[in-house]
Amino acid sequence: MKKILSLFSGAGGIDIGFKSNTFETYAAIDNWQVACDTLKENKISKNVICSNIKDIDFSKFKGKVDCIVGGPPCPPYSKSRFYIKEKKRALEDEDSYTLVYFCKALKIVKPKVFFFENVHGFFFKPHKPALDFFESECKKIGYNLSYKVINCADYGVPQIRQRFICVGSLKEYGTFKFPDNTHENRKKLDLFSGNKKEWINCKEAIGDLDVPLPEDKDNLAGSKHKHLLKLIPPGENYLFFTKERGHPNPEFKWRSRYWSFLLKLSPKEPSWTIQASFSNNMGPFHWKNRFLRISEIKRIQTFPDKYKLLGDFKDQWRLVGNAVPPLLAKVISKEIKKQLF
């Protein structure tokens, strides 16, 4: 059984996916106690280390793991940094040290393969110094790199979630090739789509979980704009109430809020991206004008129903929202095993 060293493990999404292809997590590292307790509760690894990445002695893993996996915290490369110019970006951000230490782990441990995940923004031009640094460091160590921005919906995840994925392999083992997508937007399916299936929609993913609960009557979804949320059609957001969309009584200016403001799911489409921070007015919201439940966002992120999350509601939301969908990790790790081991 091949062994992985899991960095920034969070809820363990990558680990679950790799485990399905007979990879064993030799050690899992995170600096958030709730995440570490969740990893222990679900027996992700016998060796869960709750520590800042700066304090890890990577030399003790040399020769003991075949693969390093992880996604350094994404705020320095987030889409919001692209628009909010007063905030530091990429390598200028104080949290960018996590990328440096991911590279340090590769340099010291030098596993045969690594799997790296981050937000789509990691590929944006303003963040190019971070990508250039990462690519340069990996090549110095001796890795061939294969990277691209992936839409998780294209691989069976019921969520439009674009993520930067990089697989590195030591030069003597060749270069990884990403698998063809298995699913596609039904609007693009045609005679040349082969065996590709339609994207998994929200009703297919979470429809059976939609049962009335007592707390629904106290629902504050939308906060002070909850009366507007009820009027927004499924699949739309606050832009529905703009002059540009032809609304007779505009409530908002065009592109004056974040995309997820009052964003409502459509049962006929995949979910929009589940984010790490829970909010009263930032979606996605259920098409029945309520907050999504933890059981529902777990499904959308493809976590097993029985997977236990610790902490309070916001902790659990953060755990799931920050995670790599286990199904995506399963698809990629299957190809890693096939091509590189």
What are the catalytic residues? 74
Give the helix, strand, coil percentages of the chain, each rounded to 5.
Answer: 40, 15, 45
The C-alpha R_g of the chain, in whole angstroms, comes to 21
How does strand 143-151 pair with strand 162-170? antiparallel
Residue 228 three-state SS: helix
- Look-up of token digits 């082969």: 194
Which residue type does 266 have?
S
Measured distance CA(184)–CA(209) in Å, rounded:
25
Residue 187 three-state SS: coil
Measured distance CA(244)–CA(232) in Å, rounded:
15
The first and second tokens of residue 55, run together, are 């304090």
User: How many helices and strands (H and E) does the chain possess?
Assistant: 10, 9
Write the CB contacts of 150 (distance below 8 Å, at least 6 apart in sequence).
162, 163, 164, 165, 178, 328
The 8-class DSSP code of residue 21 comes to: T
Which residue type does 16 have?
I
How does strand 67-70 pair with strand 48-50? unpaired
Measured distance CA(39)–CA(32) in Å, rounded:
11
Compute the C-alpha angle 79/292/215, nearest 5°: 140
201 phi, psi to nearest 5 deg: -95, 170
